[in-house]
Structure 1
Amino acid sequence: MDFKIYKDVNVFSLKVEPILNQKEDVNSLFLAVLQGVKSGNYKNAFMSTIEVEDSVVALFQMTPPHPLNLFFVDENYLEESMDLLIKNLLNIKIELPSIISSKPWAYRFAEKWEVVTGMTTKLVMDQGLYRLDQVNEQLEESSGSWRFANREDCELIEEWYYLFAVEAVLPIPSRNVIHKSIVRMVDQQEVFLWEDDGEVVSMMKKSRPTAHGVTVSLVYTPKGKRRKGYARTLVATISKELLKDYDFCVLYTDMMNPTSNKIYKEIGYVKIVDSVQLGFELSLKGEKI
């Protein structure tokens, strides 16, 4: 069993993409980040595999400060693969603030990581990954219409981005980083707004396109405009537009938010996997177990 680290993203891609593409929807995050590394959007990417006789049994990817994405191809090697991964992460002294993976894999890895490092595990996000192939045409639409965001909307989007991160308990970048990200998103026509009677009342964005799919994210409606169906109508409308160019849409939801999960199911999204992001902290004693 060999642990291999890849410095050339194209070599890594040739090795892992055929595996990931077998379940393109489930692996959409991994695939899209891999494409981002190829495009130069991420620096200092960590890419590795575990192989048995040149056959990949596990693969990993991290673009700091984002979580390490774990994918195990052959569960017959699950325990050995996790032990070998942990050994090498410690040997190369890589910082590991969090991981993201399917729920069973993530929690099993966390158990092992705690034993070896003495760190404690915290739940960052209990997620469901949903897929959409066709929008429910019977939905009642809210008043208003959609449009692409433009530069004049950037200040409002930046404010909502910040509030979204606060409500979702996500790491909050600096204002300057948020500003640059929003400008780039707007210029690339990735942000969609719902406008009612001349007022912007909801937003969402598309991101991480893969060969056949695209991700819906950053769905936000300010508190004073909620319970009017704006977000549901916006997501349904834009998802239908996206399905003209893609075979499917995917999105991650917070499983602790029953309202959003209900909305996405009404639109036609179907949960395909339970995913979780787990973070690691030093234990109170600061001692190894």
Structure 2
Amino acid sequence: MEFRYYQDVQKFAEKAEPVLSKGEDVYSLFFGVLQAIKAGRYDNPFMATIEEEGQVLALFQMTPPHPLNLIFTDNNRLEECMDLLIRNLLELEIELNSIISLKPWAYLFSEKWKVNTGKTHQLMMDQGLYRLDKINETLEHSPGSWRFADTEDCPLIEKWFNLFEEDAGLPQTVGEDVKKRVASFVAEQEVFLWEHEGNVVSMMKKSRPTDHGVTVSLVFTPKKERKKGYARTMVAAGTNELLKKYDFCMLYTDLMNPTANKIYQEVGYKRIADSVQLGFSMK
């Protein structure tokens, strides 16, 4: 069993993508971020595997300051792989503030990380992972219509981007970074808007496309427009448009938000896994 650290993303992708393709829905976050690394959108990514006799037993990926993503392919070797990973993280002096993974893997890692470092975990996000292959055609839609965002919408999307972060309990992205990111989103036609009587009332974003799927993210409706069905209608319409190109759509939900989970299930999304993001600190 060998831990391998990669600096060449193409060589890492050769090892990772056959594994990811077998679980393209559950591993959509890892797969999508890998495509972004290949496209040069992240600096200094951490990429590693655990391999034995040509078989990939585990995959690891981190794009600081984002969490370390963990995937294990053989539950019979899980603890061995976890111990080997932790030894190498410590030897390489990798700065690790948080991880994201399927729940059983994440909590086992956190137990072992505490033993080795004294750092305890805090739950940052408790997430349900949902997949949709076909829209619920019986869904009642709110009035209005969808369109792609254009450059004139950027100031509103920038404001909503920060409000979304506030609602989700995420660190606030600073102004110039928000402007750059939103400008890129709009230029790539990644932002969908729901408009009613000339007013934009809800939005969603296309994220992390993989070979056959794509993720829906950044679903936001301002407080004054909530409880009118706009978010549900926006997600339904946007998802339906994405299904013209992709076989399925994915999204992550906050399991502590029953309203959001209900909305997505009404659209046709089905929960296929649970994921958590855990942060680490000394007591």
TM-score range (shorter-chain normalised) is over 0.9
Q: Which amino acid is the alignment partner of residue 103 of structure 2? A: K
Q: Which amino acid is the alignment partner of residue 168 of structure 1? A: A
- 1:185 equivalent in structure 2: 185
Q: Which amino acid is the alignment partner of residue 25 of structure 2? A: D
Note the alpha carbon deviations across 1:136-177, whole angstroms, 9 max, x for none: 010111011111111111111111110110110112221111
Q: Which amino acid is the alignment partner of residue 62 of structure 1? A: M
* Superposed displacement of residue 261, structure 1: 0.2
SS of residue paired to 1:94: coil
- 2:245 equivalent in structure 1: 245
Note the alpha carbon deviations across 1:217-257, whole angstroms, 9 max, x for none: 00000011000000100100110111011000000000000
Q: Which amino acid is the alignment partner of residue 221 of structure 1? A: T
* Superposed displacement of residue 55, structure 1: 1.3
- 2:262 equivalent in structure 1: 262
Q: Which amino acid is the alignment partner of residue 74 of structure 2? A: D
| Aligned residue pairs, count | 283
SS of residue paired to 1:100: strand
SS of residue paired to 2:80: helix
Instruction: State how far apart, in whole Å, the 2-side matches of 1:121 and 1:172 are.
Output: 21
Instruction: State how far apart, in whole Å, the 1-side matches of 2:127 and 2:86 are.
Output: 24
- 1:11 equivalent in structure 2: 11
- Answer yes or no: is 1:158 the counterpart of 2:145: no
Instruction: State how far apart, in whole Å, the 2-side matches of 1:180 and 1:89 are.
Output: 32
Instruction: State how far apart, in whole Å, the 2-side matches of 1:123 and 1:167 are.
Output: 16
Instruction: State how far apart, in whole Å, the 2-side matches of 1:212 and 1:53 are.
Output: 29
- Answer yes or no: is 1:24 the counterpart of 2:20: no
After TM superposition, the structure 1 = structure 2 runs for residues 42-61 of structure 1, keeping only pairs within 5 Å, are: 42-61=42-61
Q: Which amino acid is the alignment partner of residue 235 of structure 1? A: V
Instruction: State how far apart, in whole Å, the 2-side matches of 1:84 and 1:173 are.
Output: 34
- 1:287 equivalent in structure 2: none
Instruction: State how far apart, in whole Å, the 2-side matches of 1:7 and 1:130 are.
Output: 32
* Superposed displacement of residue 199, structure 1: 0.7
- 1:100 equivalent in structure 2: 100
Instruction: State how far apart, in whole Å, the 2-side matches of 1:57 and 1:3 are.
Output: 10
Instruction: State how far apart, in whole Å, the 1-side matches of 2:231 and 2:153 are.
Output: 17
Per the normalisation by structure 2, the TM-score is 0.99
Instruction: State how far apart, in whole Å, the 2-side matches of 1:36 and 1:90 are.
Output: 27
Q: Which amino acid is the alignment partner of residue 105 of structure 1? A: W
Q: Which amino acid is the alignment partner of residue 248 of structure 1? A: F
* Superposed displacement of residue 273, structure 1: 0.6
Instruction: State how far apart, in whole Å, the 2-side matches of 1:150 and 1:35 are.
Output: 25
SS of residue paired to 2:44: coil
After TM superposition, the structure 1 = structure 2 runs for residues 125-136 of structure 1, keeping only pairs within 5 Å, are: 125-136=125-136
Instruction: State how far apart, in whole Å, the 1-side matches of 2:254 and 2:260 are.
Output: 8
Q: Which amino acid is the alignment partner of residue 6 of structure 1? A: Y
Identity percentage of aligned residues: 64
* Superposed displacement of residue 54, structure 1: 2.3
Write out the 4+ residue segments of structure 1 that deviate beyond 6 Å after TM superposition.
none
- Answer yes or no: is 1:83 the counterpart of 2:108: no
Instruction: State how far apart, in whole Å, the 1-side matches of 2:56 and 2:208 are.
Output: 24
Q: Which amino acid is the alignment partner of residue 141 of structure 2? A: E
Instruction: State how far apart, in whole Å, the 1-side matches of 2:94 and 2:171 are.
Output: 20
Instruction: State how far apart, in whole Å, the 2-side matches of 1:21 and 1:202 are.
Output: 33
Q: Which ranges in structure 2 are unaligned for 5 or more consecutive residues?
A: none
- 2:279 equivalent in structure 1: 279
Instruction: State how far apart, in whole Å, the 2-side matches of 1:49 and 1:214 are.
Output: 24
SS of residue paired to 1:136: coil
Instruction: State how far apart, in whole Å, the 1-side matches of 2:230 and 2:173 are.
Output: 27
SS of residue paired to 1:171: coil
* Superposed displacement of residue 14, structure 1: 0.6
* Superposed displacement of residue 76, structure 1: 1.1
SS of residue paired to 2:209: coil
Instruction: State how far apart, in whole Å, the 2-side matches of 1:19 and 1:150 are.
Output: 37
- 2:62 equivalent in structure 1: 62
SS of residue paired to 2:246: coil
RMSD over equivalenced CA pairs, Å: 0.7
Q: Which amino acid is the alignment partner of residue 85 of structure 1? A: L
Q: Which amino acid is the alignment partner of residue 53 of structure 1? A: E
SS of residue paired to 1:172: coil
- 1:71 equivalent in structure 2: 71
- 1:206 equivalent in structure 2: 206
Instruction: State how far apart, in whole Å, the 1-side matches of 2:194 and 2:55 are.
Output: 48
Q: Which amino acid is the alignment partner of residue 157 of structure 1? A: I
